[in-house]
Amino acid sequence: MKILLFILVFLTALVSCKPICSPPYIEYKASNCCLDVNNNKICDSDEKKQSAPVQTPLGKAVNQVLPEINDTEFPARTFALIKFEKFLNNLSKVDYDFQTEESNSTRGLELQNRRESLVRSDNSNKAFVLHVLSQPRLSNATEFASFVSSPVWDAWHYYINDTMFHWTYRPLLESELASLLPGYSFDKYVGKDSTWIDYDVYENPIYTSLGTVFEYRLETTIYDQYGYMQGNWQDPVLLYKVPCTNDMVVYLRPKVGIDFGSLVQLNQKKAVVEENFAREIAGRRQQMISEAEAVMRFCGIKKSMFSGYQFESFEQHEHLVENDRVFYKLLYNYSLNIGLLLKDAGPKDMYKIQSLNITFAQLDKNKGLGFTHISAKVFFQSLGSYVEYRDIQIFGGTLQTGVPVSRYDSQSSKVMFDVNSTIVVRPYMGFADSYEADRIYLGEGLNKQVSDFLRR
């Protein structure tokens, strides 16, 4: 009994010696208190740095836990491109040969002076493209996003026939068409005479186990005036922009080209078409992400390099149209000059043409004509009156950009005009004296005062 009483007295003494930690203090180990102002049961002195808002590369504020160790820098490229070529071939199990515009293989690229280059696999689909920069300037996630994000990213030109866009323009309103081409039916313009194109870009960040890649999709789809799909204007582009090193980005595409035209039934509305597009892409996405992660692993990319960053999606939608009559009237670039020699017609201040020389030159190769016939309608205007001279064929054959072609005409004519007249030369594609409906007029033509030629 005495022993039991002794134990109780001893325990009571221990309890009475234990310190009492009153708020805002807590006991963090035996006989020790620490400050815990926010009452989260963690000593304030032991807490990590608090979350702080940071600005992402695309301007969206998020909360980022500041890392204790700085592990955000993209690695420098320490491997030769020929080694990377072998890695990609092993990854795809296809023996691609990689080449640039300047060289037939990356072996040549290693030897030449550094400059920005797109190195691609030799298959028509360009399954792998290495975007090698002239200088290391992708040191972190911010700079990577700034470089590859749309609409700034311009390497999309590499995957399409860029020159075809030179022939397109925004659709005209009925009033604009009437002002530009009087007498041209708006129904024909929106119907069989034109190709109507929906230009759609979709870009989304994909957060993988090793970092962020961008999924980019470009579609140029032909629709009729009622909104039903009629086919693809150009092959769709689907690719993944993958970070690699501070001087290189890798673009991955599915090994088999996606023919979206085979995935949809023609004459379907756009909502159905887009649903089919999205379904097909979703079925391929995981395989592409796996390849992207393999690339990042080879390059040394880590998820910590993207910690705290969120990237925004991007979309761009435009309606474009191809129509020869409007294009050549509105956008075709050429020069036109005339030499005019006059003679007296008999009555005072009345004249006839003794000779006429017309010089025509195509100025823009990207929007130029090849084999064609160029003619001109020549007439005189004065105080509302209209006197037609004749149609003259200037040239027939293949036009060379920047090389003038001329036609000298001295055919006798009874056409008379007064000194206040304006000579008008309107060039068009087609044979001289062809039907008006068959002519495609080029620009505004040329107007000159007859009096200007009398002073010479």
Contacts with 160 (C-beta within 8 Å, 6 or more apart), sequence order: 218, 220, 234, 235, 237
DSSP 383: T
57 domain-assigned: no
Using alpha carbons, select from 162, 314, 155 the residue that is nearest to residue 242. 155
Q: 322 and 338, same structural domain?
A: no
Q: 419 and 320, same structural domain?
A: no
Q: 338 and 232, same structural domain?
A: no
In 3-state terms, what secondary structure has residue 55?
Answer: strand
DSSP 18: S
The answer to whether the CB of 197 falls within 8 A of the CB of 220 is: yes
Residue with tokens 């040394």, as numbered in its chain: 300
- Between 98 and 269, where is the model more confident? 269
Residue 304 to residue 164: CA distance in whole angstroms: 42
Q: 372 and 351, same structural domain?
A: yes
Q: 223 and 150, same structural domain?
A: yes
Q: 264 and 141, same structural domain?
A: yes
450 domain-assigned: yes
Q: 439 and 308, same structural domain?
A: no
Using alpha carbons, select from 100, 95, 54, 67 the residue that is nearest to residue 81. 100
240 domain-assigned: yes
Stretch among 9-23, 143-157, 304-318 having the lowest mean pLDDT: 9-23
User: What's the pLDDT score for residue 301?
Assistant: 96
CATH of the domain at 392: 2.60.40
Q: 363 and 277, same structural domain?
A: no
Picking from 302, 326, 350, the residue at the C-terminal end of a domain is 326
161 domain-assigned: yes
Q: 343 and 319, same structural domain?
A: no
User: What's the pLDDT score for residue 16?
Assistant: 40
Angle at 440 between CA 435 and CA 444, to 5 degrees: 120
Q: What is the pLDDT of residues 380-412, one digit of tens each?
A: 998 778 889 999 999 999 999 999 999 999 988
Identity of residue 69: I
183 domain-assigned: yes
101 domain-assigned: no
Picking from 326, 342, 357, the residue at the C-terminal end of a domain is 326
On the CB side of 50, CA atoms within 13 Å amount to: 5
Residue 285 to residue 27: CA distance in whole angstroms: 52
Q: 278 and 398, same structural domain?
A: no
Q: What mean pLDDT is predicted for residues 215-220?
A: 94
Q: What is the pLDDT of residues 121-177, one digit of tens each?
A: 766 678 888 999 988 999 999 999 999 999 999 888 888 888 888 889 999 999 999
- Between 261 and 309, where is the model more confident? 309
User: What's the pLDDT score for residue 115?
Assistant: 60
257 domain-assigned: yes
Residue 375 to residue 429: CA distance in whole angstroms: 6
Structural domain that includes position 302: 136-326
Using alpha carbons, select from 431, 455, 441, 453 the residue that is nearest to residue 180. 441
Q: 320 and 243, same structural domain?
A: yes
Identity of residue 120: R
Q: 321 and 355, same structural domain?
A: no
Picking from 271, 293, 326, the residue at the C-terminal end of a domain is 326
What confidence category does residue 8 fall into, taking pLDDT thresholds of 50, 70 and 90? Answer: very low
- Overall domain count for the chain: 3
Please provide residue 172's backbone torsions phi and psi, each rounded to the nearest 5 degrees. Answer: -90, 145
102 domain-assigned: no
